[in-house]
Amino acid sequence: MKTLNTFFLIMVAVCFLSSKSYASTACAATSTAASHQGLAGSANYATNGDDGYCFHTPTSMKVTVYEFGLCTAASSPTSKTACTTIFNNTSGKTLDLGVGSSLPLSDSVSLTEGTYTHAYVVLSNVTSIKSVIQFSTARVDDTNNSGTYCYTDGRSVNDTPTPKSVMSCGSNGSNAAYAVETIGLGGNTYSNTYINYTVSMGGANIVSNLYAITSSGALSSAGNDFALYGSQQLASAVNITPDTKGLDIAFSITDGVTLGFGINLGNGVAVGQTGPNDAVFEGLRFKITAR
């Protein structure tokens, strides 16, 4: 076994877990609902009214991590024999990924020398997103406020009754507030498993196996989701050798949110609304290097 000093750094820099993957292009200062309709990767959702999303890097994202580990192969909630757990906290550690918070770890972690091709995380299925986007022209929100800045306003898609929007628009983004979202894997149809979920973000293809689990770690059924288990193939394998002294481990969130224009959230879209009305958690990417 190789004993390593391990450092966790939370960086703003892409995709791991997703409740839904609608977007195929990045949001721009000129984005509208029409800009993101019928594009490759989103066209399949048009019949469900879910077309019209674009990638966006949030100002901040809060997630709660329960467990994290490195693996020599893909894993699942019931099969982690190829993995070494690096972080484990049954109460969970809530991280603000936009400000560089770090995971509390022991001083050292023992890893068998070899090649690690995957990592896994157990993550709460409830996230909080704060996003601000500036447009080149003024946009109108669902309450007829307008401005070149649109931002999450504290409403949640999980609110009852369902809001028409979770975003407002104004002259600046100073009123931005977290939008809370409960993540699911199945979209309109419940599912607890998504194998080989693949997205291309930040110039890299990220491949993950995703599982919805209960508080005991078993696969969920509808109504008892507690957390998400994700096994992600690393963009670059981590080689642990006799000369390895430590690991640098980061979660990055560039393009980690999708914003939706003209999306039906349950009560329709406000007449005249031109700004985005939906902000969806798209994911995290693991960035792990040996030193």
Q: Where are the domains of the chain?
A: 2-290
pLDDT band (50, 70, 90) for residue 287: confident
Tell me the average pLDDT across 161-181: 92
Give the separation between CA 277 and CA 53, rounded to whole angstroms. Answer: 10
pLDDT band (50, 70, 90) for residue 37: confident
31: tokens are 């984005």
Let me know: does 133 contact 151? Beta carbons within 8 Å: yes
249: tokens are 């481990």
Comparison of pLDDT for 58 and 14, the residue scoring more: 58
pLDDT of 107 reads 52
Let me know: does 87 contact 8? Beta carbons within 8 Å: yes
pLDDT of 73 reads 96
pLDDT of 101 reads 53
Q: In the 8-state DSSP scheme, what is residue 219?
A: B
Comparison of pLDDT for 271 and 117, the residue scoring more: 117
Percent of the chain whose pLDDT exceeds 90 = 37
Comparison of pLDDT for 244 and 231, the residue scoring more: 231
Q: Nearest-CA neighbor of 194 among 219, 224, 215?
A: 219
Average per-residue pLDDT for the chain: 80
Lowest pLDDT segment from 7-21, 157-171, 272-286: 7-21
